Chain A
Amino acid sequence: MNCPECDGEIRVPDDAIEGEIVTCPDCGASYELVKSNDRFDIKPAQAVGEDWGE
């Protein structure tokens, strides 16, 4: 699939699971993998929140 920002090619790993973050190798934009029928689609990843952590 292609990056909505820069049209770079984003490869989805074979063992990818829904919710995983993928990054465009060209522009660095991050996307979350979402299931769409039986394939993956992407949506912009959440920005790091002030309460994110462990």
Chain B
Amino acid sequence: MKRLGIVYDNIRLEEKALVDAAKRRGIEVETINCADLKIRLDDGLNIPDVLLQRCVSYFRSLHSTSVFESKGKRVINQLFTSIYAGNKLFTQLLLKNANIPTPKSVIAFSAESALAAIEEFGYPVVLKPLIGSWGRMVALLRDKDAASAVIDDREHMFPLYHVYYIEEFVNRPPRDIRAIVVGEQVIGAIYRYAGKDQWKTNMALGGRAEVCKVSKELEDLCVKAAKVLKADIAGVDLMESNDKGLLIHEVNNTTEFKNVARVTGIDIAGSMIDYALKC
């Protein structure tokens, strides 16, 4: 029987669901706490050959994936995906080069050029950290005073924050879409509505969700985005632009799926385990 491992650093509902789904299939899954690992780079590594990478810490996930792959493990998702999907600039570059519709965006490499870029772009704009999740440090800037203040703050942070990734504020209904891609299929999708007094739709910020019917257009776009990022499994986030239709703004590498599973009733974890067993 194939050995399957789940690499984690926190057991959330998602990881429990994956363990349960494996048990239901009679598969003994090995849970591997990444925080406990000590890996000699010159030796072999006695862990399962197929690994579902589920670390919530991005840097832990990224770097451990690089080690697992070097030891010949099949990691879901692979290092390429972890690198590119983990960075909003890298993701957008791949998507734009593949002609996948995305929000208009601009990158700037200093405080001065960032402010100039924002002024040229026109308000409102959204300033996003290159790496980050759950809407953390994503700022909606409506005027020059706000832009200057946020940029000034970021100049006192780690140098990664001195690279300024700026997106247009997309006029849209007060919701976005989270679609879960497994292999070459969207297995479920939800609309995520912004919480009270919020403009961000991240469920981590208290939004609510409804089932989103998966249209062919939605599925084609999401599967294409996942392929471009070489993702076996991905959580694709889309906005419904009033004038440009569906735009992909993010592809999540270690996607959370509890809300999609809860709202749609689809066995997301089961699909992920079935997919991993075929790898």
Contacts and interface: CB of A to CB of B under 8 A. Distances in A.
Interface stretch (B41-49, B55-63, B119-127): B55-63
B31 A52 contact: no
Interface string B3-38: 000001111100110011000000000010101000
Interface stretch (B110-118, B144-152, B253-261): B253-261
A51 B132 contact: yes
A51 B134 CA distance: 10
B105 interface: no
Contacts of A45: 10
A53 B255 CA distance: 8
Contacts of A50: 132, 136
Interface residues of A, number: 16
Contact of B33 (A19, A51, A54): A19
A26 to B, nearest CB: 22
Contacts, number: 57
Interface residues of B, number: 28
A29 to B, nearest CB: 16
A18 interface: yes
Given A54-B235, A54-B254, A20 B58 contact: no
Interface in A1-51: 15, 17-21, 32-33, 45-46, 49-51
B212 interface: no
B163 interface: no
B108 interface: no
A15 to B, nearest CB: 8
23 contacts: A17-B11, A17-B31, A19-B8, A19-B9, A19-B11, A19-B33, A21-B10, A21-B11, A21-B12, A45-B10, A46-B10, A46-B35, A49-B57, A50-B136, A51-B57, A51-B60, A52-B58, A52-B134, A53-B132, A53-B133, A53-B252, A54-B133, A54-B253
Which 10 residue pairs spanning A and B have beta carbons closest together?
A53-B133, A19-B11, A51-B58, A20-B11, A54-B252, A54-B256, A52-B56, A51-B59, A54-B133, A54-B255
